[in-house]
Structure 1
Amino acid sequence: MRNRTLRLKPDASKNVSVKVTLPDTLDHGAYTIVARVDTANAVVESDELNNEAASEGDVL
Structure 2
Amino acid sequence: MDDHKRRVILTLRAEGRSIRAIAAAVKVSVGVVHKTFNPAATPVDSCPPRWADRHIAAGV
Write 1 or 2 for the structure with the bigger share of helix.
2
TM-score under structure 1 length normalisation:
0.23
TM-score under structure 2 length normalisation:
0.23
Write 1 or 2 for the structure with the bigger share of strand.
1
Structure with bigger RCO (C-alpha 8 Å, 6+ apart) = 1
